[in-house]
């Protein structure tokens, strides 16, 4: 897959905030390393290798629901959150499979680390030293490489979506905006540098300055500059999010998760709604607001899986 040519505002926003995009022009190879059938699903582990001279490898775990005898005909939901058992719980997995959707999960830390020392580290930085992009861009790149892999595994063009929680929600949105093969993009409580608009900062919301200070390895090194931060906030997230349309976008937000700026996410949805309407795709923009804090629930997973299954 070649890089999507981004409009100027989205290109500048992506470069200033995330350090640009990791190059997409790499060869992806897959090899089945394990298969196991259970009473609920068929499990497959695939070894995914991306690149030739600069090769990276990680495991893509596929769970196929047994509701369809033609397993590879069903939609597939990608999750980069295999590193978080509290996010990708057994109940969450069951909710996806019960919707007739396959689950493809991987550990994003196998690509870029997310350690407490907030240093840029991990295999992708070893393969491409000196680059300006941060972990969010790296994780988004890995999501797209999983799309490459699934196209080979399924020997066709399956309907593929992605769901990310919190920091992974930021990566899912970047992947959805820059990879038109993703039929549905979903993010849960993605906040600053995710779905939330900088033009509507609610009480207690995480500022861009706070995000950069706490998690500098997620972002471009240049984002430490206050003038760069000001420019990012002026451009805002909307030019990037608008690239997902007319494909499906599902934003899930807890109204009491103030740090994730629910006011900013609601404002972004209001702007995007008009954009989707102009494209005749109003039914493909989904906004779910609930209470319950930052944690993602099996019901959230179910809602996203059903959107993907229904083709909305």
Domain residue ranges of the chain, discontinuous segments joined by +: 8-29+67-310
d(CA 273, CA 276): 5
Residue 229 region by backbone torsions, left for phi larger than 0, else alpha for psi between -120 and 50, else beta: alpha
Q: In this model, does residue 106 exceed pLDDT 70?
A: yes
Name the helix (H) or strand (E) containing 48.
Answer: strand 41-50
Pairwise CA distance, residues 255 & 294, whole Å: 9
212-263 per-position pLDDT tens digit:
999 999 999 999 999 999 999 999 999 999 999 999 999 999 999 999 999 9
The pLDDT value given to residue 18:
98
Per residue in 285-300, pLDDT (tens digit) is 999 999 999 999 999 9
Q: Crossing angle of helices 135-154/167-178, nearest 10°?
A: 60
179 vs 44, 100, 136, 163, 244, CA distance in Å? 25, 24, 15, 14, 9
**Distance separating alpha carbons of residues 134 and 61, to the nearest angstrom:** 25
- What's the mean pLDDT when you consider all of the chain? 94
Judged by DSSP in three states, 66 sits in coil
Tokens of 64: 């196929």
Q: Mind giving me the DSSP string for 94-138?
A: HHHHHTT-EEEE-BGGGTS---TT----SHHHHHSTT----HHHH
Residue 128 token pair:
């491409």
CATH fold for the domain made of 8-29+67-310 = Rossmann fold (3.40.50)
Q: What is the pTM of this model?
A: 0.96
At residue 232, the 3 state secondary structure works out as helix
Task: Give the CA diameter of the chain.
Answer: 56
The token pair at 188 is: 């849960």
Query: Cβ(177)–Cβ(115) under 8 Å?
Result: no
Q: How far is CA 302 from CA 41, 91, 98, 163, 299, in A?
A: 16, 10, 8, 11, 5
pLDDT in tens, 38-57: 887 899 999 999 987 768 99
% of residues, the chain, pLDDT over 90: 88
Question: For the residues of 165-221, what is the DSSP string, one character each?
Answer: ETHHHHHHHHHHHH-TTEEEEEEES--TTTT--TT---TTPPPHHHHHHH-GGGS-G
- Please tell me which residue, 2 or 209, carries the higher pLDDT value: 209
pLDDT of residue 40: 78
Rounded CA gap, 28 and 31, in Å? 10
Q: Over range 53-73, report the average pLDDT.
A: 81
């Amino acid at each position: 897959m070649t890089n999507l040519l981004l409009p100027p505002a989205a290109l500048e926003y992506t470069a200033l905030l995330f350090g640009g995009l990791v190059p997409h022009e790499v060869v992806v190879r897959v090899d089945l390393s394990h298969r196991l059938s259970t009473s609920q699903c068929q499990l497959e582990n695939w070894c995914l290798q991306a690149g030739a001279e600069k090769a990276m490898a990680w495991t893509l775990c596929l769970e196929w629901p047994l509701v369809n005898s033609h397993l590879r005909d069903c939609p597939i939901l990608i999750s980069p959150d295999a590193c978080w058992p509290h996010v990708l719980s057994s109940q969450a997995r069951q909710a996806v499979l019960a919707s007739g959707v396959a689950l493809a999960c991987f550990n994003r830390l196998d690509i870029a680390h997310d350690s407490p020392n907030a240093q840029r580290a991990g295999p992708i930085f070893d393969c491409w030293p000196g680059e300006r992009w941060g972990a969010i861009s790296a994780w988004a790149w890995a999501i797209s490489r999983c799309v490459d892999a699934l196209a080979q595994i399924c020997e066709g063009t399956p309907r593929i979506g992605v769901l990310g929680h919190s920091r992974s929600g930021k990566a899912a949105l970047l992947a959805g905006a820059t990879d038109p093969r993703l039929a549905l993009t979903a993010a849960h409580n993605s906040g600053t540098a995710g779905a939330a608009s900088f033009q509507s900062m609610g009480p207690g919301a995480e500022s861009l300055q706070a995000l950069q200070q706490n998690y500098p390895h997620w972002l471009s090194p240049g984002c430490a500059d206050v003038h760069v931060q000001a420019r990012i906030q002026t451009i805002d997230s909307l030019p990037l999010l608008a690239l997902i349309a007319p494909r499906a976008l599902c934003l899930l937000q807890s109204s009491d998760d103030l740090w994730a700026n629910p006011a900013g996410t609601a404002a972004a949805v209001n702007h995007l709604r008009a954009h989707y309407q102009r494209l005749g795709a109003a039914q493909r923009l989904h906004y779910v607001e609930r209470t319950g804090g930052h944690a993602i629930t099996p019901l959230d997973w179910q809602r996203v899986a059903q959107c993907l299954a229904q083709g909305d």
